[in-house]
Each structure stands twice: as structure tokens, then as C-alpha cells.
């Protein structure tokens, strides 16, 4: 009897594109919950700015996705309750705090909610909050503080975006984007379905692409897939 070949694991992707001129949203599985990785850092920045004021740690947290800065601000702003408060304030539908309150990267989000976060920043947030966060995202750097290359997705597929990336489950970078990558925090080394996300604004659109990849997928392969998908969903838009 012939043996059936095992199915090849594939990338799971959800995405949403919001047109700020026509006010229309298009996408796929826009309400699918997925762990946020570093996208939650935007919520951390919103909470800090709206309740405690500006802080020098916001800049590295957003521009080079610094985890130490995020961890400190996460604790100072109430751990998981930060997510509860911001989700309620921004009227997010699918966002939930992590089961273990110290693991901020395991906050649940959806493409729909990440679009709503950007819409809040652009349409409803106080000018200082908007300028601070979007200003840092417009100046996001190629190399993250942990050695990963942040140039996949929106910065590779579109022109001059403001962007925030997310990644989780890839171990340490095979080819560090900086000379001396900072050691990764131990609880971030969970390797369930490596996650790679790109989000931000380009021209008149808000774009969110969230992906999970089969275990063992390299960062480079996942980044290429995310960039290709971003090119597809932003075609003729950005």
C-alpha cells in the first residue's frame, strides 16, 4: 500500500488594509487572534504617553524595537492591565492580555485591531501622542537592538512607510544586523510557530500583515514571504 505524503506545513497569514480616503477595509481573516510579538509596543507607548507622559525609553522601544525598554515600561504601567485598559479605551475587539503577565509579546491581537490602533493614533489621539509615536515609527531603523534586520515587509515593499515590526520564535539572528546583538530575554525563547509581522502606514493606507510560520523556518525565509505578501496587498496603494 502506498504511503501518503505528509502535508507540507505552510505559512498562516492574516492581513488588513485600510484606505484612509475611501474609509474601506479589505483583508483576510482580519479578526484572527495571533500573538503580537513587538507590535504590542505601540500599546505600551500609548499607555505611557497618555497616563504618565513622555519617556526616553519610548524612542528605542519603537525605533529599534528594544525589548529591555519595553519590559521596563510594561511593568511600570501595570503589566497585563495595560492591555486591558488600552483595549477598552481604543475599543479593540480581539486584543487580549497574555496568559502570563510577564510575557508581553504573547498579547493577542488581530489585523483588524492593529489597524484600529493606527487609526486611533492618526484620528483620535492627542497631537503630542500622535507626533511622538508616528515620528519614531517614521524613523524606525534597519537594525533592531537584538540584531534582527527590520527591513522586511513594508519598508521593503513600499515607499517611506512609518512602520513597526514584530518577530518571535526565531532564536538568535544567524547574521546579526548589529555588531554586538543584545542577549535575548530568556522567556522570549519559546519557539512555537515563529511569528513575523509588519504594520504601519504608507501614503493613504494603514497596512497590517501578521504571519505564523512552520517550526524551523528561517528568519530570512519568513522575511521574504512577508515582503512578498506585503507587495501583494499594497499593490497600487503605496
pLDDT tens digit at each of 238 positions of the chain: 454 454 556 889 999 999 999 999 999 999 999 999 999 999 999 999 999 999 999 999 999 999 999 999 999 999 999 999 999 999 999 999 999 999 999 999 999 999 999 999 999 999 999 999 999 999 999 999 999 999 999 999 999 999 999 999 999 999 999 755 444 434 332 336 899 999 999 999 999 999 999 999 999 999 999 999 999 999 988 8
Tell me the residue range of the domain where 157 lies: 12-234
Query: Residue 88: inside a domain, yes or no?
Result: yes
Query: Residue 85: inside a domain, yes or no?
Result: yes
Edge-first strand listing for the sheet containing 162-168: 24-28, 12-19, 205-212, 195-202, 162-168
Query: Residue 4: inside a domain, yes or no?
Result: no
Cell of 58: 519610548
- Alpha-carbon distance of 40 to 166, in angstroms, equals 9
pTM of the complete model: 0.89
Instruction: Residue 128: give its domain's CATH number.
Output: 3.40.710.10
Query: Residue 6: inside a domain, yes or no?
Result: no
Query: Residue 3: inside a domain, yes or no?
Result: no
- Alpha-carbon distance of 38 to 41, in angstroms, equals 5
Q: Specify whether the CB–CB gap between 146 and 174 falls below 8 A.
A: no
Query: Residue 221: inside a domain, yes or no?
Result: yes
Query: Residue 125: inside a domain, yes or no?
Result: yes
Count of structural domains, the chain: 1
CA-to-CA dists, residue 34 to 111, 112, 219, angstroms: 9, 11, 18
Query: Residue 159: inside a domain, yes or no?
Result: yes
- Alpha-carbon distance of 231 to 234, in angstroms, equals 5
Amino acid at each position: 500500500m502506498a504511503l501518503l505524503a505528509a502535508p507540507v506545513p505552510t505559512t498562516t497569514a492574516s492581513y488588513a488594509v485600510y484606505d484612509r480616503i475611501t474609509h474601506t477595509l479589505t483583508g483576510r481573516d482580519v479578526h484572527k487572534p495571533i500573538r503580537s510579538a513587538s507590535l504590542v509596543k505601540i500599546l505600551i507607548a500609548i499607555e505611557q504617553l497618555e497616563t504618565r507622559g513622555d519617556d526616553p525609553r519610548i524612542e528605542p522601544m519603537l525605533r529599534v524595537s528594544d525589548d529591555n525598554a519595553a519590559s521596563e515600561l510594561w511593568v511600570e504601567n501595570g503589566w497585563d492591565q495595560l492591555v486591558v485598559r488600552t483595549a477598552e479605551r481604543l475599543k479593540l475587539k480581539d486584543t487580549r492580555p497574555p496568559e502570563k503577565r510577564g510575557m508581553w509579546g504573547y498579547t493577542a491581537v488581530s489585523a483588524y485591531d492593529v489597524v484600529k490602533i493606527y487609526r486611533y493614533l492618526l484620528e483620535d489621539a492627542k497631537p503630542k501622542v500622535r507626533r511622538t509615536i508616528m515620528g519614531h515609527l517614521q524613523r524606525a531603523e534597519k537594525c533592531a537592538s537584538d540584531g534582527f534586520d527590520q527591513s522586511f515587509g513594508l519598508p521593503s515593499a513600499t515607499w517611506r512607510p512609518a512602520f513597526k515590526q514584530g518577530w518571535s520564535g526565531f532564536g538568535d539572528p544567524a547574521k546579526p544586523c548589529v555588531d554586538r546583538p543584545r542577549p535575548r530575554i530568556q522567556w522570549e525563547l519559546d519557539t512555537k510557530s515563529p511569528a513575523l509581522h509588519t504594520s504601519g502606514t504608507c501614503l493613504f493606507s494603514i497596512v497590517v500583515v501578521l504571519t505564523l510560520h512552520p517550526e524551523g523556518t528561517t528568519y530570512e525565509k519568513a522575511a521574504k514571504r512577508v515582503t512578498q505578501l506585503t507587495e501583494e496587498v499594497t499593490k497600487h496603494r503605496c
